[in-house]
Structure 1
Amino acid sequence: MNQVDRRPSGLAELSTKDQKLDVRAHQRTYEGAYLRSSIGALSFSIIVIKIFSKEFIVIGIIFTIYGLLLFLVSLLRTRNMDLYFLADDKEGKSVVPGTQDNNSLENEAEITEEDTYFKTSGNIVLLLTAITSVCYVLLFVFLQRI
């Protein structure tokens, strides 16, 4: 059996309960929301394709494409989760910005703002805005033709 080499996630090295709680909250809020939205769009597309006449099949196809693109964005967000939580300090240890490790208060003075960063999800939001805008424009164009 072929084995795929994968790099271990830096999130596995999170040591405190608060850090793990932050990661779970992030997964539930953001990744779950994208996945639920894609499932909703795909479900709506199935309903439109099955219930309505052939004139509306284009709307079902647009929502199918929209749901699949949302699913791909969800996978992208899941794959890049390490980037949103981890930064490296000068000694190579993983640091989670915005959380406080109660076990290492003495290391807190050593960690400066240059060592940690917070990466927003602005690129994902712009991508979703572009995808949604294109899909809605296509919907309006096809609704005008009907």
Structure 2
Amino acid sequence: MKHKQVELVRGHRRESVLLTESELQDLRARQRTFEGAYWRTSLAAFSTGLLILKIFTREFYKIGITFFVFGLALLAIALWRRRTAGDVFDLSIPFRTSGNWVLLTTVATLATYIVLFVLLLNL
């Protein structure tokens, strides 16, 4: 039987620790930075792709699908990053953005823009 990993804050289980207002604000900021940006961008790409697929003609379907695939890629990155994050929400450790995740997101975004550029040139 696999045991669930317990997240610790200052040596205590996350559910039982009392935080000051400043620490709670810092924790919320970390969560917005860590997860929020990826999820919001993914939802925006899904919405844009769905909008294009619903209101434009068949010539634009490939563009809508490209946005949808980009949303899936960012969702996968967000889930993978969260799964491998470890102790990013431990307030005793200084928060720093991981360059590898930024690089992966940049590559996915750049690839999407190149595909979109080529598709627009072919219209």
In structure 1, the partner of 2:86 is 82
Q: Does the 8 A contact of 2:30 with 2:89 survive in 1?
A: no
Q: TM-score, structure 1 length as denominator?
A: 0.68
Deviations 1:75-99 (CA, angstroms, capped at 9, x unpaired) = 233334434354xxxxxxxx7134x
How far apart are the structure 1 equivalents of 2:88 and 2:55?
42
Q: Does the 8 A contact of 1:84 with 1:120 survive in 2?
A: no
How far apart are the structure 2 equivalents of 1:52 and 1:38?
21
Root-mean-square deviation over aligned CA pairs: 2.4
Q: Does the 8 A contact of 1:14 with 1:20 survive in 2?
A: no
3-state SS of paired residue (2:88) = helix
Structure number, greater radius of gyration: 1
In structure 2, the partner of 1:127 is 104
Read off the aligned partner of 2:121 and give its amino acid letter.
Answer: Q
Structure 2 portions without partners, runs of 5+ = none
Question: Which residues in structure 2 correspond to 1:29-68 (within 5 Å)?
Answer: 29-68=33-72
Q: TM-score, structure 2 length as denominator?
A: 0.79
Structure 1 portions without partners, runs of 5+ = 87-94, 99-117
Q: Quote the sequence identity (%).
A: 38
